[in-house]
A = this chain, B = another copy of it.
Amino acid sequence: MGPTDAVAEATLVTLNDIEAAADRIGDLVLRTPLVQLPHPQSPDRILHCKAECLQPTGAFKLRGAYNTIAQVLDQARANGIVAQSSGNHARAVAWLARRLSLRAVIVMPDAAPPTKIDAVRELGADVEVVPSALRDVRAHELAAEHGYVHVPPYDDPRIIAGQGTVGLEIVQQLPEVSTVLVPISGGGLISGIATAVKALKPETRVIGVEPELAADAAQSLREGRRISWDPQLTYRTVADGLRTPAIGVHPWAHVQRYVDDIVTVTEDQILAAMRHLALAGRLVAEPSGAVAAAAWLHNIAGAENDGGAVAAVVSGGSVDPALLAAVLQPAS
């Protein structure tokens, strides 16, 4: 165990942390439903989709961000907040800042699409655009210079505890759950969910799902050490929310301890899942949000054989309209 791993081990999130997060965030975060998705080959096989795409900002990111901000609200009110992200985390932090009347600076990579930058600006946040490689450093710099509260995207116990409320709700809403499928990228979401699920129902399996083209976490779990993939590799997948080159240090400690397996899905399987979620589940999912459902639809995670109730997290729904239109075309 290296020194960073030891730090992470010392700050493993507990069920108590997650229950405290649930109490903190309930006024602004939606208790999302489990939406029943029938299998195309049998109306009696049901996937219970935890519809995080229905959060006010379109993704689960609101949970961890709010759990972090709520614990240092006085400092945030006095000085403001800063976060780095090109996507759903940026939008969540900007939205929370508007609701809570906080000043927010969002550090975004110059590779982010102008529409995403505009969406964050429209919420009233200041955006600072930097080269992609510098965004983490710049966020820390701004926090140090101005006393901003820093709201990191995933590598933080408060973020993990906030995302863990998804797992708490799944067990409450589906007490008989036997398998939970979760998209994995930086690892904050699955870390929190696995911590909650294993504390409440140790026999329930928690399976991570990532694109075959960005399978750093699957390789890490197989080899027993955190492995980074070059962004030039991970950027091949359509699932733009899952391109993080490696799982975070804090998440890695949770994943090693609590996650049963990590499986991968192909690009075609992701697009087919988006289509089925829209037409049979009436849920708009972005590609990253559809990977867990894709694993179930294509019998990849072994969940089809465990005879129990299967849940999958539909983590977000911020999708390019042209892509969604394309997957819905009857010929696709």
- Residue among A33, A36, A329 with max Cβ neighbours from chain B (10 Å): A33
Q: Are A54 and B56 in contact (CB under 8 A)?
A: no
Q: Are B322 and A330 in contact (CB under 8 A)?
A: yes
CB-CB under 8 A from A33, the residues of chain B are 30-33, 54
- How many monomers of this chain does the complex have? 2
Question: Which A residues, 216 to 244, have Cβ-Cβ distances below 8 Å to chain B?
Answer: none
- Residue among A54, A98, A285 with max Cβ neighbours from chain B (10 Å): A54
How distant is A15 from chain B, measured CB to nearest CB, in Å? 25
- Asked if A187 CB lies within 8 Å of chain B CBs, one says no
- Asked if A260 CB lies within 8 Å of chain B CBs, one says no
Stretch at the interface among A77-85, A135-143, A144-152, A275-283: A275-283
Interface size class, chain A: 35 or more
CB-CB under 8 A from A12, the residues of chain B are none
How distant is A47 from chain B, measured CB to nearest CB, in Å? 12
Question: Which A residues, 13 to 42, have Cβ-Cβ distances below 8 Å to chain B?
Answer: 30-33, 35-36
- Residue among A53, A279, A317, A328 with max Cβ neighbours from chain B (10 Å): A328
- Asked if A324 CB lies within 8 Å of chain B CBs, one says yes
User: Digit string of A51-71 for contact with B (CB within 8 Å is 1, else 0)?
Assistant: 101101010000000000000
CB-CB under 8 A from A330, the residues of chain B are 321-322
CB-CB under 8 A from A56, the residues of chain B are 36
User: Digit string of A298-332 for contact with B (CB within 8 Å is 1, else 0)?
Assistant: 00000000000000000001010110111011100
* Chain B residue, CB-CB nearest to A316: B282
A279 to B51, CA, bound (A): 15
Question: Which A residues, 111 to 139, have Cβ-Cβ distances below 8 Å to chain B?
Answer: 122-123
CB-CB under 8 A from A51, the residues of chain B are 54, 282
- Asked if A284 CB lies within 8 Å of chain B CBs, one says yes
* 10 interchain pairs, CB-CB under 8 A: A30-B33, A32-B33, A54-B282, A278-B284, A279-B324, A282-B285, A283-B283, A283-B284, A324-B328, A325-B325
Nearest first, the 8 closest Cβ-Cβ pairs linking A and B are: A282-B317, A325-B328, A282-B284, A53-B282, A36-B56, A325-B325, A321-B328, A35-B54
